[in-house]
Structure 1
Amino acid sequence: MNTPRLFLLTDDFLPHQGGSRVYYHELLSRLEGVDCRVLTRQQEGDAAFDERQVYQVERMGLSAWEFLKPLRMQFLPIYVRLLWRTIRTIRRFKPTVLVAGELVPTGPVAALCARWFRIPLVVFTHAEGPPTIGRTRFQSRLARWACGQARWVIAASDNAQDGLVRWLGVPVEKIEVVLPGVSEEHFEERFRARPGQKMDEITLLSVSRLIERKGHRTVLEALPELIRDFPGMRYVVVGTGPLENELRALAHDLGVASQVRFAGKVDALGLMAAYAAADCFVLPNMDNAETGDTEGFGIVFGEAAAHGVPVVGGRAGGTTHSIRDGETGFRVDGANVKAVADAVRRIFRNGGLYARTYGEAGRQMAEREFHWSGRAKRFKQIVFPG
């Protein structure tokens, strides 16, 4: 029996930060008996990352031509280069299934190649994809056509599925939902958190890119009020991004800089240690009204739950999957400073007893629902039903 071969074409991939990049990496790493290959753009530090993987990664340079922007054709070279490299890889690799990691630009390129080479096509999307693309006529047409050519359209959350139906008119019966999961190391007992045990040294934690919709600004603005109630509270921010300097300045202006630590990018062991030391995970995510960007699932909420850390997240996007409101933590309006502060206070009621209760409930939920092995098994059953 021939080994099935899966070819993923994606615009972005690890080691670049982001939930969708982790999603694809974790699925491919667990597809037993499947030969997987990835074609994606070059990233800083990609060579060291690629050589450690069980699947093969091919890289290419992708950049727009800004001088074509007045003609609205600046992305044309990206499509052309994607098409050329995809054709070349298909001829060499001879995949059983072709997978597009995004609705655009990889969706239409993969759809075209799938027709030429008569290969079954899978198109993936996350929650931010449909509303962002659906706002532009040209891209929405390309995305609709790609989804129409696909044998399966896979959404990474119910929210993403709703977006496909609402913004792009994809028939719901054509969509399969495969939720993200949590890596096994997050469940290791040595990294299990003990929230609320030291009420005089409470640690709040955020893990994400430093961009506006993640809600770091709201947490910082809530800190002065929270520190009055919990003088030993500190806030650890893991991740990098374009808002870092602005957030550092805000912490200084609010008078809380001494109790905020920007940890930057950390390695896997450092991330485990950060979760294990946390008393509450806080990331009040919100929608980006201008672009439609939102939280697809919130893998970091699932990771925090796996460590036994209670969470405070935003109501936006697909966080209903990763946060059980009032059970493992709270979902609040990510732009409302008072709502975030009140949610944190509720977690630390009764001398930390609630923090431990919410944390344990999150741990049990993660054990039941968030293992990547189960997600990969479901994906394989969809794509390789035989």
Structure 2
Amino acid sequence: MTVLVVTNDFPPRQGGIETFVRSLCDELPDVVVLTSSSPGDTSYDSELPFRVVRERTTVLLPTPRVTKHAVRLMREHDADRVLFGAAAPLGLMGPALRRAGARRIVAMTHGHETWWAGVPGARQALRRIGDAADTMTTVSSWCAEQIAPALSPAAVRRMRRLAPGVDNLRFHPGCGGEQVRKGLGLEGVPVVACVSRLVPRKGQDTLIRAWPRVLAAVPSAMLLLVGGGPDRERLEGLASAVGVRSSVVFTGPVPWADIPPYVDAADVFAMPCRTRRFGLEPEALGIVTLEAAAVGKPVVVGDSGGAEDTVRHGETGYLVDPYNPVAVGVRIAGLLTNPARARELGEAGRAWVEQNWTWSHAGAVLRELLDV
């Protein structure tokens, strides 16, 4: 029972959705992937245990040409199950793939479908996607609440939660943090890490604005910003303007396979993510927060969208107001000055992730939905 995965989000491009879709492929017995092109994809694909077919474009859209290509792949690989890595807009191909022989169609939703649900035109398109799929999945309870009003009653009844898991073999205490600290010259100092693309929604600027308060309590503390992105120049300028540039380390882009040691290098993980664009750009979940918890780190996370699902407030870390640098700084400083409390939260977070956020569970749910 071959599954055709149609997705615009796939490594070597980095991001939470890319990690989610790639990891689910390992949970399926037979897969062929249709996706877009990105730098370094030829080398990356050559190491995979399944076939990846890439369109020459950097963005995959449900055009007639792409739809015909998907149909050809279905027939070539005898694939009668289809997984859309992101429901909108690729799920609009659902009716055509059904006519081509798809017996089961699952359309995954993440964060951007929540604004589709609130925008005329896009809302109607999302309804068509839901009607064409056997199941539309959501990553968090918040996403389900936002998307459901745009769907037909029948599609709502078929909705299921499909949350990502964490690879505990890669993300665990002691997975390489000492080497990262040594390489970056951070040995023997308190480190707060944010591992994410440098974009406004992730809140790295809030961390920088909070940093003077952190330094007032812990003068030797260092802020480690892991990842690349279009916001780097602005963030570097902000760090200089606030007077903390010497206490902020920018790593630049880090390959997905090399991320765990950077998380392990931290004493505290912080990502004060926020909802932007009048509610149209939220944090759908935040798998990196769960990965940090798996490494045994206390987490400080912005209260945005479904991010609350990734932290048990006061037990594994804290939800904070992402627009309040003072509150963020107070939480971080409190953890750095109370290592015993930080360790307690980190240990609880690891136990919680090990019990509730596994890829084997996510895979079991997906296999049930696809009937494989």
Fold match, TM over 0.5? yes
Identity of aligned residues (%): 28
Match for residue 36 of structure 2 among 38, 41, 45: 41
Q: 1:264 to 1:379 in 2, by over 3 A?
A: same
Give the 3-state SS of the residue equivalent to 1:285 in structure 2.
coil
Does the 8 Å CA contact 2:271/2:302 hold for their aligned counterparts? Answer: yes
Corresponding residue for residue 356 of structure 2: 369
- Mark the CA change 1:220 to 1:281 in structure 2 (over 3 Å): closer, same or farther: same
CA spacing shift, 1:199–1:277, aligned 2, 3 Å: closer
- After TM superposition, give the deviation of residue 63 of structure 1 in Å: 6.3
Distance 1:287 1:335, change over 3 A: same
Shift of 1:328: 0.8
Q: Which runs of 5+ in 1 are unaligned?
A: 65-74
Q: Deviation per CA, 1:361-385, whole angstroms, max 9, x where unpaired?
A: 1111111112212211221122216
- Return the alpha-carbon distance in structure 2 between the equivalents of residues 262 and 313 of structure 1: 20
Query: Structure 1 residue 199: deviation in Å?
Result: 12
**Structure 2 residue 262 is matched with structure 1 residue 274:** yes
Separation in structure 2 between the aligned mates of residue 302 and residue 272 of structure 1, nearest angstrom = 12
**Residue pair 1:192, 1:308 contacting (<8 A) in 2 also:** no
- Would you say 1:21 and 2:18 are equivalent positions? yes
Shift of 1:168: 3.7
Deviations 1:163-206 (A, max 9, x none): 22134456432101011111233344532879xxx997210000
Deviations 1:105-164 (A, max 9, x none): 2111133221343532111101x2332212433332222112102111111222221122
8 Å Cα contact 1:288/1:294 also seen in 2: yes
Aligned length: 364
Task: Provide Cα deviations, 1:225-258, integer angstroms capped at 9, x if missing partner.
Answer: 2111100000111111110111011111111111
Q: Work out which of the residue numbers 180, 205, 214 in structure 2 matches 1:217.
A: 205
- 1:27–1:372 Cα contact (<8 Å) kept: yes
Q: 1:146 aligns with which of 122, 126, 129?
A: 129
Match of 2:289 among 297, 301, 306: 301
- Structure 1 partner of 2:158: 174
The answer to whether the 8 Å contact 2:275/2:281 transfers is: yes
Aligned to 2:368: 381
Match of 1:6 in 2: 3
State the Cα distance separating 1:319 from its structure 2 match.
Answer: 1.8
Deviates more, 1:234-243 or 1:132-141: 132-141
Aligned position for 1:53? 48
Tell me how large the CA RMSD over aligned residues is.
2.3
1:357 alignment partner AA: E
2: CA distance, partners of 1:200 / 1:355: 17
Equivalences for 1:93-242 in 2 at 5 Å?
A: 93-126=77-110, 128-169=111-152, 171-191=155-175, 201-242=189-230
- Offset of 1:53 from its aligned partner? 1.6
TM-score, normalisation: structure 1? 0.88
Letter in 2 for 1:103: A
SS at match of 1:7: strand
Residues in 1 aligned to 2:310 and 2:273: alpha-carbon distance in whole angstroms = 13
Alpha-carbon separation, structure 2, partners of 1:96 and 1:84: 15
Structure 1 window deviating more from structure 2 (284-293 vs 142-151): it is: 284-293
TM-fit CA distance, 1:207: 0.6
Q: Deviations over 1:59-80 (max 9, x none)?
A: 002368xxxxxxxxxx9x8623
Q: Any stretches of 5+ residues in structure 2 without a counterpart? A: 179-185
- Distance 1:187-1:14 versus aligned 2 partners, 3 A rule: closer
Tell me the equivalent position of 1:339: 327
Distance 1:51 1:38 in 2: 13
User: Counterpart of 2:165 in 1: which secondary structure?
Assistant: coil
Distance in 2 (alpha carbons) for counterparts of 1:199 and 1:341: 22
Counterpart CA distance in 2 for 1:254 and 1:384 is 55
Tell me the SS of whatever aligns to 1:49: helix
Judge conservation of contact 1:297–1:321 (CA < 8 Å) in 2: yes
Question: For 1:166 and 1:343, how far apart are their aligned partners in 2?
Answer: 36
Is the partner of 1:184 in helix, strand or coil?
Answer: coil
Question: 1:151 & 1:78 partners in 2: Cα distance?
Answer: 19
Mapped to 2, the partners of 1:118 and 1:234 lie a distance apart of: 52
8 Å contact 1:134–1:167 — kept in the other structure? yes
Work out the CA distance in 1 between the residues paired with 2:262 and 2:326: 26
1:35 partner letter? D
Instruction: Pick which of 324-333 and 167-176 moved more.
Output: 167-176
In structure 2, the residue corresponding to 1:358 is in which secondary structure? helix
1:355 corresponds to 2:342: yes
Matched AA of 1:49: Y
TM-score with structure 2 setting the length: 0.91
Q: 1:291/1:10 Cα in 2 relative to 1: closer, same or farther (>3 Å)? A: farther
Q: Shift of residue 102 of structure 1?
A: 2.1
Contact 1:193 1:309 in 2 (8 A): no
